[in-house]
Structure 1
Amino acid sequence: MSNTSSPWTQSAPQTTGQNTPSGTPPGAPWAPAPRPTRPVYDGRLGELYAIYLRHLFLMLVTLGWSRFWGRTNIRRYVWSHLAVLGDRFEYRGRGRELLIGFLLALLLVAVWIGLMWLVWLYVFHEKPAASFGMFDLFSLSVALIGFPLAYVGHYAGLRYKLSRTRWRGIRCGMAGSAWSYGALATGLHFANATTAYLLTPLVSVSLARPRISNTRVGTLPFLFAGRAGDIYGRYIGYYFLNIVAWIVAGIAVFAAVGGTIESLGISSDDFLKLLSKPSLNTVLLVLVLAFAAYIVFGLLILPLRCWWQAYLMRYLVTHSRAGNVLFTTAITTRQMWGFLVLNYLIVLLTLGIGWPWVMHRTMKLISAQLWIYGEPNGQEIRQPTDRSPGYGEGLLDMFDVSGV
Structure 2
Amino acid sequence: MAFVDLKTDYAGEKPRIFNLALITGLFTVLTAGFYRFWMKTRMRRYYWSAIRPGGIPLEYVGTPTEKLLGFFTAVVFLAFYIGIVNLILMFFSFSLFKGNAPAYIVSVIGLTPMIFFAQYRARRYVLARTRWRGIRFGLEPGVAGFVWRSMLHWGLTVVTLGLYWPVKTYWLEKYRVDRTYYGDHRMHQGGSWKLLVKPMIHVYLAILASVAIGVLTYVTADPRYSPLGTLAFGWFVFGLAHWKAQSFKALTETKTLGDVRLRTAPRTGRVIGIYAGGWAAMIGIFLGASIALGAVVAAILAAMGPEVLTNLEEGNFGALPRALPILFGVMVYFGYFVFWSVLKETFISLPMAKHFAEVTEIVNPEALRAVRQRARDEFAEAEGFADALPLGDAF
Query: Could you say which TM-score interval applies, normalised by the shorter chain?
Result: 0.7 to 0.9
TM-score by length of 1: 0.73
Aligned-partner residue type, residue 2 of structure 2: A
Indicate conservation of the 8 Å contact 1:113/1:138, yes or no: no
Equivalent position of 2:242 in the other structure: 307
Structure 1: 5+ residue stretches without partners: 1-29, 261-288
Aligned-partner residue type, residue 129 of structure 1: F
Per-residue CA deviations over 1:153-199 (Å, capped at 9, x if unaligned) read: 22221211111112111111111322321221111111232234343
SS of residue paired to 1:353: helix
In structure 2, which of residues 365, 372, 376 is the aligned counterpart of residue 382 of structure 1? 372
Q: Are positions 1:131 and 2:96 aligned together?
A: no
Superposed displacement of residue 206, structure 1: 0.7
Equivalent position of 2:361 in the other structure: 371
Per-residue CA deviations over 1:268-302 (Å, capped at 9, x if unaligned) read: xxxxxxxxxxxxxxxxxxxxx9xx99966531322
Aligned runs of 1:1-400 on 2, under 5 Å? 30-33=1-4, 35=5, 37-120=6-89, 122-125=91-94, 127=95, 129-132=97-100, 136=101, 139-232=104-197, 234=198, 237-238=201-202, 241-248=205-212, 250=214, 298-338=233-273, 351-357=340-346, 358-377=348-367, 379-385=369-375, 387-400=377-390
Per-residue CA deviations over 1:90-109 (Å, capped at 9, x if unaligned) read: 11111111112222222222
TM-score by length of 2: 0.74
SS of residue paired to 1:161: helix
CA distance in 2, matches of 1:90, 1:54: 22
SS of residue paired to 2:365: coil
CA distance in 2, matches of 1:235, 1:347: 28
Indicate conservation of the 8 Å contact 1:252/1:296, yes or no: no
Indicate conservation of the 8 Å contact 1:176/1:210, yes or no: no
Structure 2 vs 1, CA of residues 298 and 252 (structure 1 numbering), >3 Å: closer, same or farther? farther
CA distance in 1, matches of 2:41, 2:345: 14
CA distance in 1, matches of 2:244, 2:349: 19
Structure 2 vs 1, CA of residues 192 and 104 (structure 1 numbering), >3 Å: closer, same or farther? same
Aligned-partner residue type, residue 364 of structure 2: G
Indicate conservation of the 8 Å contact 2:3/2:365, yes or no: yes
Structure 2 vs 1, CA of residues 147 and 390 (structure 1 numbering), >3 Å: closer, same or farther? same
Aligned-partner residue type, residue 45 of structure 1: K
Indicate conservation of the 8 Å contact 1:162/1:174, yes or no: yes
Per-residue CA deviations over 1:250-285 (Å, capped at 9, x if unaligned) read: 369879x9869xxxxxxxxxxxxxxxxxxxxxxxxx
Structure 2 vs 1, CA of residues 201 and 63 (structure 1 numbering), >3 Å: closer, same or farther? closer
Aligned-partner residue type, residue 365 of structure 1: H
Structure 2 vs 1, CA of residues 306 and 49 (structure 1 numbering), >3 Å: closer, same or farther? closer
Aligned-partner residue type, residue 54 of structure 1: I
CA distance in 1, matches of 2:280, 2:125: 29
Aligned-partner residue type, residue 44 of structure 1: E
Indicate conservation of the 8 Å contact 1:327/1:373, yes or no: yes
Structure 2 vs 1, CA of residues 75 and 147 (structure 1 numbering), >3 Å: closer, same or farther? same
CA distance in 2, matches of 1:344, 1:152: 33
CA distance in 1, matches of 2:218, 2:281: 28
CA distance in 1, matches of 2:278, 2:229: 17
Aligned-partner residue type, residue 99 of structure 2: S
**Seq. identity, %:** 21
Structure 2: 5+ residue stretches without partners: 287-338
Structure 2 vs 1, CA of residues 378 and 322 (structure 1 numbering), >3 Å: closer, same or farther? closer
Looking at secondary structure, tell me which structure has more helix per residue: 2
Indicate conservation of the 8 Å contact 1:249/1:300, yes or no: no
Indicate conservation of the 8 Å contact 2:52/2:58, yes or no: yes
CA distance in 2, matches of 1:315, 1:143: 34
Aligned-partner residue type, residue 243 of structure 2: W
Structure 2 vs 1, CA of residues 365 and 121 (structure 1 numbering), >3 Å: closer, same or farther? closer
SS of residue paired to 2:18: helix
CA distance in 1, matches of 2:84, 2:47: 41
Structure 2 vs 1, CA of residues 300 and 330 (structure 1 numbering), >3 Å: closer, same or farther? same
Structure 2 vs 1, CA of residues 215 and 334 (structure 1 numbering), >3 Å: closer, same or farther? same
Aligned-partner residue type, residue 222 of structure 1: M
Equivalent position of 1:265 in the other structure: none
Superposed displacement of residue 345, structure 1: 8.0
Equivalent position of 1:266 in the other structure: none
Structure 2 vs 1, CA of residues 330 and 379 (structure 1 numbering), >3 Å: closer, same or farther? closer
Per-residue CA deviations over 1:353-398 (Å, capped at 9, x if unaligned) read: 3232133112211222212212154542222136332442122223
Structure 2 vs 1, CA of residues 215 and 340 (structure 1 numbering), >3 Å: closer, same or farther? farther
Structure 2 vs 1, CA of residues 113 and 244 (structure 1 numbering), >3 Å: closer, same or farther? closer
